Structure 1
Amino acid sequence: MTGETVSPAVMDQVYKKYKETKMNPQKLMDELGIDVTSMDNRETLGMGIVRKETELNHDEKLFLLAVERGDLPSVRSSLEESLTYMNININCVDPLGRTALLISIENENIEMIELLLSFNVEVGDSLLHAINEENVEAVELLLAYQTNKKDLSGLLGAVPSSSFTPDITPIILAAHRDNYEIIKILLDRGDRIGKPHDVRCSCLECKTRAAEDSLNLSRSRINAYRALASPSLIALSSKDPILTAFELSWELKRLSRLENEFRIEYETLSKSSQDFAVALLDQTRGSKELEVILNHNSAGLSNDGDRENLDRLRLAIKYKQKKFVAHSNCQQLLASFWYEGLPGFRRRHIIFKVLLTVTICICYPILSILYLLLPKSFLGRFMRQPFIKFICHSAAYMSFLFLLILTSQRIESTIKYGNNPQKNIREVRGASPTIIEWIILAYVLGFTWIEVKQLWDDGAKAYVQDMWNILDFIPNALYIATYTLKLVAYLRVQDEIAQGHTDVANLPRSQWDAYDPNLISEGLFATANIFSSLKLVYIFIINPHLGPLQISLGRMVIDILKYGFIAVLVVFAYSCGVNQLYWFYAEAKQRDCDICTAEGGSACECDKYLAK
């Protein structure tokens, strides 16, 4: 600790003596008292070096030391001497396996890198190490050197490396580091990342790789997708970064379900893609920019005149980008669309809100008729606002449910005929629909037309994927089937009357056939009423208090079914055990009862037993 510097010659002597002692076990026993022979059959981990290091001569050690220190004159002198005397290997490696070029890259010594490249040292995987260190200048130097030397292996990225797997190319490693500058340099020279084959691909290449090393195939797929999910790569190489992030996030979610072993890795990458799309959305500085983003159509179709098309937002919902949809910028724009035509409505007093809503609900039939007559007027434009349409649709549906309640309570027959069963239309075969039922039919036809339009606009696949559309389709189909059966029953009864079978046509309800169209139509009508009432759940989902509760309950249904399955399995197993334990007593009691019944004894208690 005196500050004196130990000369390399002294270090060489010490190292040489150590090597001689190590190679002479007897000398090790005499000087240090260590019994080497007794260690043959014992665990010797940590007692010696297993991997033999590359032997370096004195000049090579000095050369690597000069490179480590950044001593350019000494390095230049050593390189020039190597050309004349061949006393050193300019591609030698230190005990850590680093060449002089790798040491220079780690130390970010650009001048040293230039010097070494001028003497044509082996590049090897130096480019990958430079990218890993995010040394942009070193990357540029190495790429220029490979281009001048026409090193195809280096240009293509297929270089052997002990630090990186064969599937790691320069562009993939740069994307892993998410270094914008390096990715741009590599993209400019033509590097690309091909999309991996599908996990279910059965091509010859995938079959061969899976048979040779399935783990390597899975890891290479993860490495490729980790690179593709790089925000810098998406921003530089994609014409539509938000769409690319959506599709990549969806694909990674699918892979997380298919490759359960790597589920966490894929879910992490999917989340990063979602976050990138949200980060882009967060950069919007005004409503106009936000409208352009959310209304952008990836197919290049114009949305002129349709300010509220929101193609990109619909796409986010399709790909289940919850963070994107729930972003405050999106929600603010949606709120402005929702309450358009009612400026300041959300800041008004609750009494004003209630009065306005009730007024629109009461006047919706008149407003609807005026909208049909004057669609381009001020009132027509007012009726086209989303919030007003929602109130009118909700009021119309509530009126529809009220009519269903009146029909189910037979209010029209009760008012007109009282409780007279002879005139009660519910107890008459083939009765024509009442006025309320005709109004309900008009509603059903309107609802059906709405569903047909939605099916035409969205397509069958998108329509079926929304379960609420299925809930709308089922009651409409049941109502149409109900009225069809009513028509069949009416025509059948009229035919029976025309043939003179009035007694059959006027049968009491208690004597109707079990498959009479009237009875079947009533069953379908009751089922349709249940589905119609359940649709209120869809309306209440917009409530800030009931909506989250409904979503939580919906997600709990699957867990409840899982628990129910386990409970049924436990009960079934217990029942099997109990049945095995008591089967004899049941059969013995049955035999006793059979004997007792055959004898006809008055003291037989089998009837009491069977009654239990």
Structure 2
Amino acid sequence: MFRPNNYCSSTNDVETELPPHREMGQLSFDEKKYLLAVERGDLASVRRILQRAAEAQFIDINCVDPLGRSALLIAIDNENFEMIELLLKFQVETKDALLHAISEEYVEAVELLLDYEDMIHKPGEPYSWEAISPDSGAFTSDITPLTLAAHRNNYEIIKILLDRGATLPTPHDARCGCAACVTSRHEDSLRHSRSRINSYRALASPSLISLSSKDPILTAFELSWELRRLSFLEHEFKCEYQELRRRCQDFATALLDHTRGSSELEVMLNHEAGCPSYEHGERMHLKRLKLAIRYRQKKFVAHPNVQQLLASIWYEGLPGFRRKNIVLQTLEIMRIGLLFPFLSILYILAPHSTAGRFMRKPFIKFICHSASYFTFLFLLILASQRIESTMAAWFGAEGFAKYLSDDTATKRGANPTFVEWLVLSWVMGLVWSEIKQLWDVGLQEYSSDMWNVIDFVTNALYVATISLRAVAYYLVQKEVEKNPNIALLPREQWDTWDPMLLSEGLFAAANIFSSLKLVYIFSVNPYLGPIQVSLSRMVMDILKFFFLYILVLFAFSCGLNQLLWYYADLEKKVCLESRPTTGNRIDQDACVVWRRFSNLFETMQTLFWAAFGLIDLENFELAGIKGFTRFWGLLMFGSYSVINVVVLLNLLIAMMNHSYQSISVRSEKADTEWKFARSRLWISYFEEGGTAPPPFNIIPSPKSVVSLATWISEKVCTLSRSVRKRKLYTVKRKALQQNEREGRHQSIMRNLVRRYITDEQRKSENQGVTEDDVNEIKQDISAFRCELLEILRGSGVNTSVASGHQGPGGRKNRHKERRLMKGFNLGTFESDHMSEIQTNHTFLSHLSMESTLESQSVSGSLRSKNSTFGRLTSLVRPVKTTKNNWGALVEAAKKASSKNLLDRLETKSEISPSPTSSGKKKREEYAKARYVCVSLPGDPDKMRTDSTDYSSDNCKSSEDKIEIDVDNKMHQNYVIRSNEDGIPNLPGVQPIRSCPRGWF
């Protein structure tokens, strides 16, 4: 038969250019049988192949299938423990098999591979999973067995690895500047970041935290806070870090679900490393809960168990208060609030008395402080309404009332009134309270609370008001020495920046902040508290929006001021010329309009008030303005109005609506946020100090005097021998108590961890039947079938009647076997098929030329377009990759794996080397081959292929199809039709039988 000269060479060229991932799938027939036996769990066949390979080396026992799986990985995927043992017995390379076993969470295989690794590993050399090439490995180089086990959150595997000494180092900080981090970041920044994420994903594993940490709750808190910080540093991976942070929070919260009593909860929430642990009956300091608040563990703080404990502490001073109705509760609160001055005085005089201990209860302390603050607000109202003059008028002292009114309204540097002295005393008490809080908690924690920042601003305004009043008094006294009448100067003649006027402005602003502080007090209410949380979120949205709004406002203000400043100056001149001093009539409009655009600051004010509709178009009717300038100014003003009103204000509304919807009053998140805010307020009243409310807290109490004297005596008498002995005894006693209480805390934490892990394992076991369970059953059935056939074969039973070597069944398993046996390769269509198709096309082109020369008897039919054989030249043409009739055949050839079919036919041709054998013998050979039938008489577009084995004896005679056979190789990419008159005398062209009509 004719064969092109370049046919073999082109094929060889294509094979030498295969990429590595395709060479990986080029397996011999015996290697395919070997991997297929492992896939099916045929232990006996695998043992025979391995024994034969050990003697003859006819296969590579470490070969991999086209998907990159070695025999060991296939056995791990199928969870065939006996197969894994057999493969390791014959020293199959493990490579990253341990990582695959961990990924599949196959505990038995992990233990076996670890033992095998300990047996073959040599000190100083890398482990098997470390020696594998990064390009061929399924896992990155930073993935260690412990890291992968932590990613899978498998308790058993993590326990096995930790018992063998595996460690997981803490990754370097994101801003680390060490040589290793700088080099890694310079070589591959993406890999450096992903490596850090993988490390933190492992560290955030609940199972790893439970097994490696003595204090899992503290570890979860610290790791959650670190992940929060990283989410702000690496914005590209913010979602990943936030997800890991939520996992840590959920783990810490889940441990609370397993507390079985108040004693366990109290020990857990009051524990702090290095400090004496809590004993039942002591005053709770709640160090661990304060730490949770500082690390913003909102789910932990809002947990029902924690809230129940806090509520029991909060209402400790008033038993049965929560069971009363709203009227009785209101009366009880009013009674305590009215008595707060007397309770405060009793506490100062006798802090350890019954009234003093009652005053120290958190809820009582809160009521007294709230009553004190309400009194302070009432005094502010009295000061703003000049109550002294009003009271004097009410009681008939008209002259005194007029004196007080004139003194307050017109006198510069006036002395404080009685109400202002009371306000001053409250301000001093509030400032002292904030100073003590700042000293106790530190600047960082103090500034983390927004309400503390508001208190600081409010107190700063009050202090500035008092200072300016003092400055005004001092300046006036100096001026009175020169001119006694200067103090009676009317207010309208004061300087614009007079200290008295400045103090009044700051005092008014401080009053606003003081009144808004009531929102913080109302956060304890279950109805107003969630609204306060939503309002806080909206304030943050307003601050974000304000930045963009100021930018737009500044941009248009610059433009309008540059355009209209000259005409504003003309309006100012008109206003000055029309004053009474000149004898002209005053132009009210000119004296108002010129300020609108006189400078940048005034222009910004004008545009700001324009957003509320307070600026009309008459303000652009300036003196001397031209038409074009007026039009251009109105156009700019209109553009600003559209951007500000239509775009920005609607954007603000959308942002506020989104914040409100995200923390809806009735949602679970709103409840969590409110309980967290309420807990912060409750915790602030659980402290020992700060019992007396302002202004009583500025009065030195005997308790404070005694504490100060004790501190001074300890500092002075530190060298005394008796003092040193007493301190040494105290230190030893505290150390013993600390060890005992630390052991109690460790015991409780172990119990919580054990309950948590047991519950998680029970949940995983109760998930129901999964696909993995079904595949495991299929694999067991397949392995049992192979073992049974082997036993029967060994007993002399004829097993040839068995239904062939079938796999475990299932679509996925059939796909795996098909890919293995048919040489499925991971590559593009061009790399895997185009070279072969082009080779076939070249060969068939030569075949067509030779057929034309040898078929002179049918030359007339070749000229006829209507005859079947006459279209031979149009049918035999290059295969196109476009979507046409022959494109369907190309796709069919690809799916049917024509290369494997050619190989199989080439193997069969060794039986009958002569291409000129009889038709009967040829049909017998073809009966063993795989036929691909194509419907030709019908529509060419409706062509179909099938890879089913059909015997030629079952096919009916047909003159519609012929088959091209070149050296016993059947090419499926082309179909040549014969005419009805006969078959062309072409070498290698044989009639074939048509297959049943039902399947093509």
Both structures adopt the same fold (TM-score exceeding 0.5) = yes
Name which of 198, 201, 217 aligns with 1:226: 201
**2:517 is matched with which residue: 526, 531, 535?**
535
Q: What amino acid is the match of 1:476?
A: N
2:248 maps to what in 1? 273
**What residue in structure 2 maps to residue 471 of structure 1?**
454
SS in 2 for 1:347: coil
* Equivalence for 2:57: 86
State the partner residue of 1:137: 108
Q: How does 1:110-189 map to 2 (within 5 A)?
A: 110-151=81-122, 152-154=125-127, 157=130, 159-160=132-133, 161-189=136-164
Structure 1 residues 24 and 136, CA gap change in structure 2 (3 angstroms) = farther
Change (3 A) 1:306 1:185: same
Which structure 2 residues correspond to residues 403-482 of structure 1 after superposition, within 5 A?
A: 403-416=379-392, 417-420=400-403, 424-482=407-465
1:389-412 CA distance string (max 9 Å, x none): 111111001111111111121112
Amino acid at match of 2:76: I
Alignment correspondent of 2:345: 369
* Local SS of the residue matching 2:236: helix
For the Cα contact (< 8 Å) 1:252–1:266, is it kept in 2?
yes
The C-alpha deviation readout for 1:458-483, integer Å capped at 9, x for no partner, is: 01221122221222222323333333
Q: For structure 1, which runs of at least 5 residues remain unmatched after alignment?
A: 1-22, 28-35, 41-48, 598-605
Name the stretch that deviates more: 428-437 or 401-410. Answer: 428-437
- In structure 2, the residue matched to 1:240 is 215
- Aligned to 2:339, what secondary structure does the other structure show? helix
Give secondary structure in 2 for the equivalent of 1:164: coil
Task: Verify the 8 A CA contact 1:147 1:155 in the aligned structure 2.
Answer: no
CA distance in 2, matches of 1:227, 1:577: 56
Largest Rg, 1 or 2: 2
Q: Relative to 1, partners in 2 of residues 1:99 and 1:495: Cα closer, same or farther, differing over 3 Å? A: closer
Q: Structure 1 CA distance, aligned partners of 2:202 and 2:486?
A: 79
Bigger shift: 371-380 or 330-339?
371-380
Question: Counterpart in 2 of 1:30?
Answer: none
Partner in structure 2 of residue 4 of structure 1:
none
Q: Report what 2:362 is aligned to.
A: 386
Q: 342, 347, 353: which one pairs with 2:329?
A: 353
Structure 2 residue aligned with 1:557: 539
Q: Which residue of 1 aligns with 2:826?
A: none
Give the partner amino acid of 1:236. Answer: L
By how many angstroms is 1:73 displaced?
3.6
Alignment coverage as a number of residue pairs: 559
- 1:146-201 CA-partner distances (Å, limit 9, x unpaired): 11222542278554452111111111111111110111111122222222222333
CA separation of 1:156 and 1:454: change in aligned 2, threshold 3 A: farther
1:97 and 1:478, CA in 2 relative to 1: closer, same or farther beyond 3 A?
closer
Q: CA deviation at 1:339?
A: 0.8
CA distance 1:576–1:114, change in 2 (3 Å): same
Q: Does 1:198 align with 2:173?
A: yes
5 Å-filtered alignment, 1:102-117, equals 102-117=73-88
5 Å-filtered alignment, 1:6-155, equals 51-151=22-122, 152-154=125-127
- Where does residue 919 of structure 2 map in the other structure? none
Pair 492,58 (structure 1): closer, same or farther in 2 beyond 3 Å: closer
For 2:328 and 2:464, the matched residues in 1 are separated by 43
The TM-score with structure 1 as length reference comes to 0.81
Change (3 A) 1:158 1:401: farther
1:521 corresponding residue in structure 2: 503
Structure 1 CA distance, aligned partners of 2:470 and 2:356?
38
What per-residue deviation string (whole Å, max 9, x for no partner) do you get for residues 478-517 of structure 1?
A: 33333344444445555666x5743334544444455544
TM-score with structure 2 setting the length: 0.51
Task: Label 1:289 to 1:421 Cα distance change in 2 as closer, same or farther (>3 A).
Answer: closer
User: 1:420–1:158: structure 2 CA closer, same or farther, 3 Å change rule?
Assistant: farther
Deviation track 1:26-84 (CA, whole Å, cap 9, x = no partner) reads: 89xxxxxxxx99xx9xxxxxxxx992454444543443333333343433333333332
Distance 1:295 1:182, change over 3 A: same
For 1:249, the equivalent position in structure 2 comes to 224
Residues 413 and 425, structure 1, Cα contact 8 Å, conserved in 2: no
**SS at 1:541 equivalent:** helix
* Larger relative contact order (CA 8 Å, sep ≥ 6): 2
* Cα gap change, 1:119 to 1:212, in 2 (>3 Å): same
How far apart are the structure 2 equivalents of 1:291 and 1:69?
A: 57
Contact 1:413 1:424 in 2 (8 A): no
The Cα RMSD (Å) is: 3.8
Report how far residue 340 of structure 1 moved: 0.9
Q: What is the deviation of 1:279?
A: 0.7
Closer/same/farther in 2, CA of residues 489 and 576 from structure 1, 3 Å limit: closer
- What secondary structure is seen at the aligned counterpart in 1 of 2:403? coil
Deviation string, structure 1 residues 340-375 (Cα, Å, up to 9, x no partner)? 122221121111101101111111111111222222
Q: Deviations over 1:76-134 (max 9, x none)?
A: 33333333222332222233322222222222222222222222221111111111111
**Correspondence for 2:623:** 610
Mapped to 2, the partners of 1:185 and 1:148 lie a distance apart of: 17
Question: 2:555 and 2:489 mapped to 1: Cα distance?
Answer: 52
Indicate yes or no: 2:199 matched with 1:217: no
The answer as to whether partners of 1:421 and 1:427 remain within 8 angstroms in 2 is no
Distance 1:383 1:453 in 2: 19
User: Which sections of structure 2, spanning at least 5 residues, go unmatched?
Assistant: 15-19, 393-399, 578-588, 591-620, 626-1000
For 1:316 and 1:194, the matched residues in 2 are separated by 25
Report if aligned partners of 1:143, 1:155 keep a CA contact under 8 Å in 2.
no
Displacement after TM superposition at 1:565 (Å): 5.3
The whole-number CA distance in structure 2 between the counterparts of 1:167 and 1:424 is 80
> In 1, Cα distance between the equivalents of 2:78 and 2:183?
42
Equivalent position SS for 1:436 = helix
Q: Is the 8 A contact 1:429 1:490 kept in 2?
A: yes
Equivalent residues of 2:413, 2:469 under 8 A apart: yes
What does the per-residue CA deviation read over 1:581-603, in whole Å, with 9 as the maximum and x for residues that have no partner? Answer: xx79x99xx9xx99xx9xxxxxx
The letter of the residue matching 1:92 is C
| 1:563-587 alpha-carbon deviations (Å, 9 max, x no partner) | 555566667888999999xx79x99
What are the Cα deviations for residues 212-239 of structure 1, in whole angstroms up to 9, with x where unaligned? 3222222222211111111101111122
Given the superposition, is the C-alpha separation of residues 356 and 56 from structure 1 closer, same or farther in structure 2, using an over 3 Å criterion? same
**Helix, strand or coil at the partner of 2:186:** helix
Alignment partners' CA distance in 2, 1:243 and 1:311: 11
Secondary structure of residue in 2 paired with 1:554: helix
Letter in 1 for 2:450: M
Shift in alpha-carbon separation, 1:53–1:189, aligned structure 2, 3 A = closer
Please identify, of 369-378 and 399-408, the stretch whose mean Cα deviation from structure 2 is larger. Answer: 369-378
> Is contact 1:371–1:380 with CA below 8 Å preserved after alignment?
yes
Give the Cα–Cα distance (whole angstroms) in 1 for the partners of residues 493 and 561 of structure 2. 44
Contact 1:427 1:509 in 2 (8 A): yes
C-alpha distance in 2 between matches for 1:576 and 1:427:
40
* One-letter amino acid matched to 2:145: P
